Amino acid sequence: MRTRFTVSLVVFVALLAGCSQAPEGYSSDSETNQQSQPSPAPLTEAQINQLIRSLPEQKTRDGLRAHYTAIEKAARLLEPFEIEHTAGPTAVPSKVESVVEMFSDKLKMYQFLGLVGLDQDWVIASEKDYAWWVDYRLSQDPGFDVSLWNPEINELGHCRLSAEVFCGAGSAFNGKNYQDNVVGTEFKELSRLDYVSRHEAAHFYQAVFGYGGRCWMAEGQATFFETYLESTSRSRSDVLARLKASPTGIAQASEEEVLNLLTNDQICQSDSDIAYDLGMLGYEYLYLNFSFLDVHNLQVQSSTEGWDKAVVDVLGKDPQELNVALASYIYTESK
């Protein structure tokens, strides 16, 4: 049986809905104040609560990036919790260690939201470990879908394997979450590990708290943080270019059509990439207008009680009013 590791945060963060003003004395420009402090102290409980309840000081994309960069930088001062994982027999130990350390760093910002352990059964294998991986996963659950790793085309999920790549795929069976990663025996491209771990760390967090009550929320959030916090990731313009090229023609849809698809939660149908690309725009709007904590609570409640109820309970807004605002933002930004 797996053990969920837990660790106490520097402070306890009460998860309550609501926004406040930007935290005094702390912003994305705070590095200037920290230059004379070689060992900055962790934020106090009050500072953390202000930070996760505040909105960007400037309601622009640059202001949004600065705000979440500030949250991420503050989180670096936290001690990481221990992550349980299983390494494949030919996985290079030093590379496995690098992967775990990178994921630990990317998960720290979610500790501000109460993350103290993972709900994932995590395997880190090499490209040579297919037979071992099949036996291992089937020994855990005979119904595990081992077609996730296709040896005929040498792919894990949607990623082509080789000795030089880092790939990952998540799945769930019988109420249990699984994460499978391959770190190639010759893998050296740490820049790829940076943005892949940022994206996948969001899914690790979601596996604990919920994937959200809309089809675009899980991948949209992961794409948002990957794009806004990692310089080696796809750029925002790259994300929008793929959205505009969607075979569904979503970028050519009218604002009313976008609204109807959002309201009925049918916007992701026929093209799975929409969840990533349009979802990023959805999170831009949410994070521009609601705090890190508010969006977290929206995601948690909408995962179990539905979008409409969560919007009312957490944000205090009419659900259709929020749908209209999201549709307007997505329509405008995707043109």
Q: Show the 3-state SS of the chain.
A: CCCCCCCCCCCCCCCCCCCECCCCCCCCCCHHHHCCCCCCCCCCHHHHHHHHHECCCCCCHHHHHHHHHHHHHHHCCCCCCCCCCEECCCCCHHHHHHHHHHHHHHHHHHHCCCCCCCCCEEEEECCCCHHHHHHHHHHHCCCCCHHHEECCCCEECCEECCCCCEEEEEEEECCEEEEEEEECCCCCCHHHHHHHHHHHHHHHHHHHHCCCCCCCHHHHHHHHHHHHHCCCCCCHHHHHHHHHCCCCCHHHCCHHHHHHHHHCCCCCCCCCHHHHHHHHHHHHHHHHHCCHHHHHHHHHHHHHHCHHHHHHHHHCCCHHHHHHHHHHHHHHHCC
Over 70: is that where the pLDDT of 177 sits?
yes
149-150/155-156 β-pairing = antiparallel
Taking the C-alpha atoms of residue 261 and residue 267, their distance in angstroms, rounded to an integer, is 5
Whether 11 maps to a domain, the answer reads: no
Whether 74 maps to a domain, the answer reads: no
- Give percent of the chain above pLDDT 70: 88
Task: Look at residues 132, 78, 86, 135 and name the one whose alpha carbon lies nearest to residue 107.
Answer: 78
Whether 80 maps to a domain, the answer reads: no
Per-residue model confidence (pLDDT) at position 189: 79
Whether 27 maps to a domain, the answer reads: no
What are the pLDDT digits (tens) for 208-254?
Answer: 999 999 999 999 999 999 999 998 889 999 999 999 999 999 999 99
Of 90-94, 180-184, 189-193, 225-229, the range with the lowest mean pLDDT is: 189-193
| Rounded average pLDDT over 97-126 | 96
Based on the fold, state whether residues 222 and 296 are members of the same structural domain: yes
Per-residue model confidence (pLDDT) at position 9: 35
Per-residue model confidence (pLDDT) at position 29: 44
Based on the fold, state whether residues 196 and 225 are members of the same structural domain: no
| Rounded average pLDDT over 257-263 | 97
Based on the fold, state whether residues 201 and 277 are members of the same structural domain: no
| Rounded average pLDDT over 297-307 | 97
Based on the fold, state whether residues 90 and 174 are members of the same structural domain: yes
| Rounded average pLDDT over 79-98 | 96
Whether 281 maps to a domain, the answer reads: yes
Based on the fold, state whether residues 116 and 191 are members of the same structural domain: yes
Based on the fold, state whether residues 260 and 287 are members of the same structural domain: yes
Domain boundary, last residue among 190, 209, 228 = 209
Over 80: is that where the pLDDT of 294 sits?
yes
| Rounded average pLDDT over 269-278 | 95
Based on the fold, state whether residues 189 and 227 are members of the same structural domain: no
Residue 134 in tokens: 């099949």
Based on the fold, state whether residues 224 and 188 are members of the same structural domain: no
How crowded is the C-beta side of 66, counted as CA atoms within 13 Å?
16
Per-residue model confidence (pLDDT) at position 39: 63
Sign of the torsion angle spanned by Cα atoms 193, 199, 204, 205: positive
Angle at CA of residue 157, ends 151 and 158, nearest 5°: 100
Token look-up 């725009």 returns 281
Helix axes 45-53 and 292-305, enclosed angle (nearest 10): 70
Domain range for 259? 217-333
Token look-up 């809905």 returns 17
Whether 175 maps to a domain, the answer reads: yes
What are the pLDDT digits (tens) for 142-152?
Answer: 999 999 999 99
Task: Look at residues 79, 82, 70 and name the one whose alpha carbon lies nearest to residue 108.
Answer: 79
Domain boundary, last residue among 181, 209, 237 = 209
Over 60: is that where the pLDDT of 36 sits?
no
Based on the fold, state whether residues 271 and 200 are members of the same structural domain: no
Domain count, the chain: 2
| Rounded average pLDDT over 77-98 | 96
Per-residue model confidence (pLDDT) at position 180: 96
Whether 54 maps to a domain, the answer reads: no
Cα–Cα distance list, 96 to 85, 99, 124 (Å): 10, 5, 7
Domain boundary, last residue among 163, 190, 209 = 209
Over 90: is that where the pLDDT of 74 sits?
yes
Per-residue model confidence (pLDDT) at position 232: 86
Whether 263 maps to a domain, the answer reads: yes
Per-residue model confidence (pLDDT) at position 42: 78
Over 70: is that where the pLDDT of 206 sits?
yes
Q: Are 242 and 235 in contact (CB under 8 A)?
A: no
Taking the C-alpha atoms of residue 190 and residue 194, their distance in angstroms, rounded to an integer, is 6
Over 70: is that where the pLDDT of 285 sits?
yes
- Give percent of the chain above pLDDT 90: 79
Q: How confident is the model at residue 31 (pLDDT cuts 50, 70, 90)?
A: very low
Based on the fold, state whether residues 259 and 297 are members of the same structural domain: yes
Based on the fold, state whether residues 271 and 319 are members of the same structural domain: yes
Based on the fold, state whether residues 283 and 236 are members of the same structural domain: yes
